[in-house]
Amino acid sequence: MMKASTSTSRWVLGALLATTSLSAAHAQTLTPSPTGTPTIPSGTQDEAATPPVAGDQATTTPTAQSTGSTASPEVATDPSGTATGADIVVTGTRRAQRLQDVPVAITAVSGAAIAKAGYTTATDLQYLVPSLTFNNSQGAGFSIRGFGSQSFDYNLEKAVSVVLDDVVQGLPRSIGFNTFADVERVEVLEGPQGTLFGKNASAGVVFVVTRKPEIGIASVQGSARYGTDNETQIENTVNLPISETLAARISGTYQQRDGYLYNAFYRNEGGSYRDVSVRAKLLWKPTPDIEALTTAEFLDHRDEGYNIIENVRGLTAYATPPSATSQTNLDYATIFAQYGFAAGPNNQTYLANTDWYGSVRQKGISEVLTASLGEYTVTSITAYKHQRSGNFNDPDYTGTDFYTLNRNRLRASQFSQEVRLNSPKGGTFDYIIGAFLYRQDAHAFEAQAGKRNRTDLPSLTYVNPVGSASAYGSHQRSYALFGEGNLHLTSQLTFVGGLRLTHDRVSGDYAPTTDFPYSYIGTIPPAIAGRAKATDVTGKATLQYKPTDDIMGYATYSRGYKAPAIGTSRGVLRPVSQENVDSYEVGLKTQFLDRRLTLNLTGYIQTFRNFQATALTLQPSGDYLSLLTNAPKVEAKGVEISSAFRAAPDLTLSANASYNHSQYEGFLVGCYANQPVNAAAGPGCYRQGATLVNDASDTDVILAPRFTYNVGINYEPQLTETLKLFSSASFAHRSSTLSVAGDPGTRIPGYGLLNATIGVGGLDGKLRLSVYGRNLTDKLFIARLRPLPFGPTGSYLQTVAGEGRRTIGVRLDYSF
């Protein structure tokens, strides 16, 4: 009888986990931590993995969030990275709670689900989380519910914070990780997280958790894959027991892929990339109440324009073609014809007579100390990270010397310190309080050069306003005190409240430099510098009601904040005000049919004040200048629904959808090509003094799809006494988006991606061989559109996405 009951509980647990990218495995008993909080023992076998649905919003429920603490529970993982336990304990609010009980919208994807989907790079996360997008062409950053930071300015904070193993990744033009090596799970917290997270979380948080060393266990696990365009990935992780109190874990990854675009000038491929990363962790646990976790990381990324290379999507005709000596325009159509191709939406050819490349090298170290003091837990997180990066490209897209060089180099470093105190649970009131310190310094060099069709100059000459050589500096200091508490009014009703006091100081400077081996002709711009400071209070107030074990509803008001910035791009000083957001969110999380069916619903209204954005304007030189500014108001309204049904122990179905309507109000940008000029001020293009401006009110926020949905199926029957079939398929669709504020010519068409995986493996989880396919319909899609500089008005450039072609490969996973 006991045996049958245990089997049934495991099957019910599988139905509960169907809403996440985790899965049910061997049920085990919860054990108390030093503070009396339940923790889950490690599992040994994957029994029912949830399908890795691209854009999986069935996981819009809280999942565990590691705090690096022995006193805080962790989701136990087997070698495939799926969760186990007699009940699911989560810490999405840095507290242990059952999965469906946390009043926060969190989309979670396990490492196992990412692997099954066949994705390889960190930026591919956007295809698994419907509320998430990634922009690699304007500063490398995520957006959540349509909100993020799109700017090359080094001083601008990201609106979506990336937190890797409790450490904020704040360095410019980087997200802090490139692969999913040894990743336990990724959690996307949607909406402003203005209380518990350390930095720049006005739109949300991408929280990445990697696996910790296991004391007393020796293991080796990894994978190898090979696919289309020589896509190669090798991952390996070794866990080494050193003593009864000490263990180490070392993981390494190598991955690369050939180019996917054709450079007609050099007759070679562009768009390749290569990543190498190593992470080493040392865990020391001298007593049950004390833990020290040291992590050292190294990341080296090189690419030849992956997800960055632009080509010409469409050309309008010149009324009068430019002459061969024009210093503002180029005859693109004639030049392209000489190389045997034409512009168009399906164009996968570009021209460059200089290399396209990018590089990022990062080194970092962190120390997480945790101590249980009676029923209280203290956690200290100290981290330092250093980065060197650079890129080089040909910005005229013709293979001529009109504009030959666009280059930048960046050195940046960050230091952060966070201390938290967790109170005991079980009473009427429990809380978390803490303090946070962050400092960042960045120094950059940029150069643009070209002779602009002048025959009296060498090919590499700084000719203003196109040519310049510039040095930039950026400095940030941030200090914060925070706290959040839960007041349990009754057994069914809880009030959650939190506050964060933040003080920021920022400065930025620009200076022209001749420290580059080329001539400089034209007026040298003057040096500029600026600084700003701000103090702000953010927080949240939530009322949570749980009438039954399987129904929970909540209503939340939260306020987010992002520090001011000093824009210095192109030598133009642009002080930018701090950004604030007020968010109202309601959620309902339910389970039916013995928890085989999960249905969750979220609705929200978010209003941003002084939203930090970029305005694109056409210059007399023919170039487009993108300057950092504030949009006075941006509002988003949306509904998200996620569902999953465990139809049978080995069959799971999911269907999810999101509607997000986000628009600017009172945002003045440059008029787009051939835009009609209105006689009076108002939405659209009108004259403001001697300048034409475009009021982008009532136009969509850039890179914010209005509608997304996905469906998925996962089927994993047992074939024999030792073998199991693993199969999954998913289709995810997102609607069209704008790429430049207020310009309808930059609307990126909607697209859908079909992915599938099928494989066979042992029931013991030691070996698995699978075949994966991404974008099986071979759908070409665009990551970015923008106006074409130096060309006829109404012409556009496009960035073809690296995933915009079919990929088929084979993968071997092993664990010993």
Q: Which residues of 756-766 are buried (b: 16+ CB within 10 A; e: fewer)?
A: bbebebeeebe
Mean pLDDT rounded to a whole number for the chain: 83
514-541 confidence digits (pLDDT tens): 665 555 556 667 889 999 999 999 999 9
Residue 120's pLDDT is 76
CA distance 766 to 770: 13
- Residue 10 pLDDT class (50, 70, 90 cuts): very low
- Residue 383 pLDDT class (50, 70, 90 cuts): very high
Which DSSP letter does residue 230 get? G
CA distance 797 to 744: 14
> Of all residues in the chain, what percent carry a pLDDT higher than 90?
52
Query: If we measure between CA atoms, which residue out of 720, 727, 809, 728 comes closest to residue 764?
Result: 720
Structure tokens at 183: 């990743």
pLDDT above 80 (res 116): no
- Residue 307 pLDDT class (50, 70, 90 cuts): confident
Query: If we measure between CA atoms, which residue out of 755, 667, 663 comes closest to residue 702?
Result: 663
Structure tokens at 293: 């976790």
Asked if 424 contacts 432 with a C-beta cutoff of 8 angstroms, the reply is: no
Q: According to DSSP H, which parts of 544-585 are helical?
A: none
H or E segment and range at residue 116: helix 111-117
Whole-Å CA distances, 254 to 120, 251, 276, 813: 11, 11, 5, 15
3-state class (DSSP) for residue 338: helix
Whole-Å CA distances, 607 to 150, 502, 541: 18, 20, 17
CA distance 112 to 233: 16
Unique residue bearing structure tokens 């109170």: 423
142-165 confidence digits (pLDDT tens): 888 888 876 667 777 888 889 999
CA distance 505 to 497: 27
Residue 258's pLDDT is 95
Among 22-36, 143-157, 229-243, 460-474, the least confident range: 22-36
Residue 241's pLDDT is 97
pLDDT above 90 (res 497): yes
Asked if 157 contacts 201 with a C-beta cutoff of 8 angstroms, the reply is: no
Query: How many independent structural domains does the chain possess?
Result: 1
Among 2-16, 97-111, 495-509, the least confident range: 2-16
Q: Which residues of 23-53 are buried (b: 16+ CB within 10 A; e: fewer)?
A: bbbbbbebeebbbebbbbeebeebbbbbbbb
pLDDT above 60 (res 611): yes
For the chain, give the longest Cα–Cα distance. Answer: 93
CA distance 757 to 729: 6
Which DSSP letter does residue 780 get? -
Residue 626's pLDDT is 77
Structure tokens at 164: 């890797």
272-282 confidence digits (pLDDT tens): 999 999 999 99
Phi, psi dihedrals of residue 338, rounded to the nearest 5°: -65, -25
CA distance 248 to 242: 7
Strand 204-210 versus strand 160-164 pairing type: parallel
Asked if 179 contacts 121 with a C-beta cutoff of 8 angstroms, the reply is: yes
More confident residue, 500 or 25: 500
CA distance 51 to 20: 9
- Name the residue type at position 127: Y
More confident residue, 414 or 791: 414
What residues contact residue 809 under an 8 Å CB cut-off, 6+ apart?
118, 225, 226, 227, 228, 231, 771, 772, 773
More confident residue, 136 or 739: 739
Rounded to the nearest 5 degrees, what angle is found at the Cα of 401, between the Cα atoms of 400 and 407? Answer: 110
| 679 within domain boundaries | no
Query: If we measure between CA atoms, which residue out of 412, 118, 410, 112 comes closest to residue 255?
Result: 118
Among 186-190, 552-556, 647-651, the least confident range: 186-190
pLDDT above 80 (res 781): yes
| 670 within domain boundaries | no
Asked if 422 contacts 376 with a C-beta cutoff of 8 angstroms, the reply is: yes
More confident residue, 778 or 467: 778
The length of the chain, given as a count of residues? 816
Residue 146 sits in a domain of what CATH number? 2.40.170.20
Q: 3-state DSSP helix/strand/coil percent for the chain, to nearest 5?
A: 5, 55, 40
Asked if 653 contacts 600 with a C-beta cutoff of 8 angstroms, the reply is: no
| 463 within domain boundaries | yes
742-768 confidence digits (pLDDT tens): 999 999 999 999 999 999 999 998 999
Asked if 780 contacts 804 with a C-beta cutoff of 8 angstroms, the reply is: yes
3-state class (DSSP) for residue 745: helix
What residues contact residue 60 under an 8 Å CB cut-off, 6+ apart?
19, 105, 106, 107, 190, 600, 602, 640, 642, 656
618-677 confidence digits (pLDDT tens): 555 556 677 888 999 999 999 999 898 999 999 999 888 899 999 999 999 988 888 999
Residue 29's pLDDT is 32
Asked if 432 contacts 196 with a C-beta cutoff of 8 angstroms, the reply is: yes
What residues contact residue 223 under an 8 Å CB cut-off, 6+ apart?
115, 233, 234, 235, 811, 812, 813, 814
Q: Which residues of 651-667 are buried (b: 16+ CB within 10 A; e: fewer)?
A: ebbbbbbbbbebbbbeb
Structure tokens at 506: 């920022």
> Of all residues in the chain, what percent carry a pLDDT higher than 70?
82
pLDDT above 60 (res 27): no
Query: If we measure between CA atoms, which residue out of 240, 208, 207 comes closest to residue 221?
Result: 240
Residue 426's pLDDT is 85
Average pLDDT over residues 297-315: 88
Query: If we measure between CA atoms, which residue out of 594, 409, 413 comes closest to residue 9?
Result: 594
Average pLDDT over residues 63-86: 32
| pTM summary value | 0.84
Torsion (CA) 72, 76, 82, 86 in degrees, nearest 10:
-100
pLDDT above 80 (res 40): no
Best mean pLDDT range from 9-18, 178-187, 483-492, 620-629: 483-492
Among 43-57, 405-419, 499-513, 792-806, the least confident range: 43-57
| 513 within domain boundaries | yes
Unique residue bearing structure tokens 């650079």: 390
pLDDT above 50 (res 469): yes
pLDDT above 80 (res 6): no
Unique residue bearing structure tokens 């040994």: 44
CA distance 748 to 804: 13
Average pLDDT over residues 335-363: 90
Among 411-415, 557-561, 565-569, 750-754, the least confident range: 565-569
Q: What count of Cα atoms within 13 Å lies in the side-chain half-sphere of residue 370?
A: 26
Phi, psi dihedrals of residue 117, rounded to the nearest 5°: -70, -15
pLDDT above 60 (res 684): yes
Asked if 411 contacts 443 with a C-beta cutoff of 8 angstroms, the reply is: yes
End-to-end CA distance of the chain: 34
Residue 19's pLDDT is 35
Which domain does 332 fall in, by range? 2-665+700-815
425-444 confidence digits (pLDDT tens): 889 999 999 999 999 999 99
Alpha carbon 813 to chain centroid, angstroms: 26
Query: If we measure between CA atoms, which residue out of 291, 316, 182 comes closest to residue 237?
Result: 182
Q: CB atoms < 10 A from the CB of 228, how many?
A: 16
Radius of gyration for the alpha carbons in the chain, expressed in angstroms and rounded: 26
Among 58-72, 105-119, 498-512, 637-651, the least confident range: 58-72
H or E segment and range at residue 6: helix 2-17
Average pLDDT over residues 726-747: 92
Among 344-358, 584-598, 632-646, the least confident range: 344-358
- Residue 73 pLDDT class (50, 70, 90 cuts): very low
Residue 458's pLDDT is 57
| 680 within domain boundaries | no
Average pLDDT over residues 19-47: 33
Structure tokens at 288: 């049950």
| 695 within domain boundaries | no
| 673 within domain boundaries | no
Average pLDDT over residues 188-207: 84
Average pLDDT over residues 40-52: 33
| 303 within domain boundaries | yes
